[in-house]
Every structure is written in C-alpha cells, then in structure tokens.
Amino acid sequence: MNLNRTGRVGALCLVAAAPVFLVANLVTGLRWQDPTYSWATNNISDLGNVHCGIWDTTRPRYVCSPWHPLMNTAMLATAALLAVGLLLTWRILGRGGVVRSAQALLLLATIGYALAARYPADVDENLHVLGAFLIMGVGNIGLLLAGFAPGSTLLGRWRRLTLAAGLTALVGTVLFAAQQGVGIGVGGMERIAVLPFPLWACCAGVLLAETPTPAPGAPAPPSPALPVPPSPRRSWSCGARFDQ
C-alpha cells in the first residue's frame, strides 16, 4: 500500500497529538508551587482549572494552576490533531462496520478533548464531565473495538497493539471511576485511562508515515490477466478431422 499526501498529513497529525498533550501536562504541572502538582494525587483536569481553591467533594484538594491557559489550549490542539488525523486517514485504515464504528467512536473522543478544554471542571462541571465520558468511556470502547478490525484491513494489522491499548484503557477507566489507585494513585489511574488513545494514535501515525509514497507518474499496477479458455482438442485420422 502506498500513502498519498493527504494520508501522510493525517499520519503526522496522529503522531503529534500525544507529544503536545504530554508536554503540556509536564510544563503546566511544573508551575504549581504550593502545593506541587502530583500525577498520583491530582487529576488531569486540575491543570486546566481556572480558579484557585479547594476542589472536588470526593477527594478535596487545593488546586491552583497558574498556567491553566497552556493546558486548555494544548488540549484543544490535541483534539484538533486527533480529529484531523482520523479524518484524513479514514479510508486508508479500511472498510466495514467494525472499522467505521471504531473510527466514529474515536472521533467522538476527540470532541471530548475539546469539551474538557473549552469547559474546565470549575467553570462548567457538567460539560467537562461529558467530555471526560466521551474520552474515557466512548473513546476507549472505540479503541478496543478497533482491535477487532478484520485482518484484511490496515487497522486489523495492528491488532495486538490496538487490543493492548484498548484493554489497558478500559481497565484504567473502570478503576478510576471506582476511585481505586492500586498503588499509583487515583490521578495515576486516570492517566492509564486517558493516555492509551493518544499514544496508540502516535504509534499508528508512525507506522503510517513509514509507508512509501507513490512515485510521480508511476504506472498503475497491471490488471490480473484473464484466464484463456482452452482451445478444443482436435484429432486426425485417415485424412479426416474430428473435433472433440
């Protein structure tokens, strides 16, 4: 399979999404001072909160994120990169009900990133929670479903990678919803639920980007030759010809 220019742009978008998201997590968290930001204790959403103060009734904690605009902007960029990447590689990944359903669910997850960024938890909690549901619920189901794409499709060739990412994400989602840290903290468990999709997209983008580009003016592959029907057998006897 050769990758055209549109597909290559889509692949690069998929590659870029995870680094943008992770760098924003790191840089924004480093600006926290008192208290410092903890990946084990704090949620990802804490980085985007606009106001300073005690937050969350289930796990009350002081949240103050001076560089919240960076985090929210990066999440919007992540949403855009993932959405554009999925759309530009839509046909390349294959056809069929499983492939299209998985792609649609993953596309909904990108809307979740945009909602979570546009509406921080302390600004509009309901829309923020809806965004989180689209990411961790709908998107992770789509990621797991992508692991069952037919082997004849490009998406199906990455089955082991996709199933591993989907199962990890769903386990993380269930444990995070149950507020079970299992040694890495509830904040750490949220990362287990959220990160597999963008990391999988990054790996998929790299695999796609390594696909060769068709040479300009390259001839189309020859059509398979049609079978030639056998000519009738002829036998000759005593100067007479008989067709068999």
> Each residue of 85-115: pLDDT tens digit?
999 999 999 999 999 999 999 999 999 999 9
> Each residue of 28-72: pLDDT tens digit?
999 999 899 999 999 999 999 999 999 888 889 999 999 999 999
The domain ranges of the chain are: 5-212
Write out the two tokens for 215: 């040479």
Q: Are strands 240-243 and 234-237 parallel, antiparallel or unpaired?
A: antiparallel
Peptide bond into 221 cis (omega under 30): no
The strand ranges marked E within 159-212 are none
pLDDT over threshold 90, residue 157: yes
pLDDT score of 121: 94
Contact 75, 128 (CB under 8 A): no
DSSP code for 156? G
Mean pLDDT, residues 137-145: 97
pLDDT score of 143: 98
Segment among 16-25, 102-111, 206-215 with least mean pLDDT: 206-215
Write out the two tokens for 74: 């990066």
> Each residue of 168-189: pLDDT tens digit?
999 999 999 999 999 999 999 9
Find the farthest-apart pair of alpha carbons in the chain and give their distance in angstroms, rounded.
Answer: 112
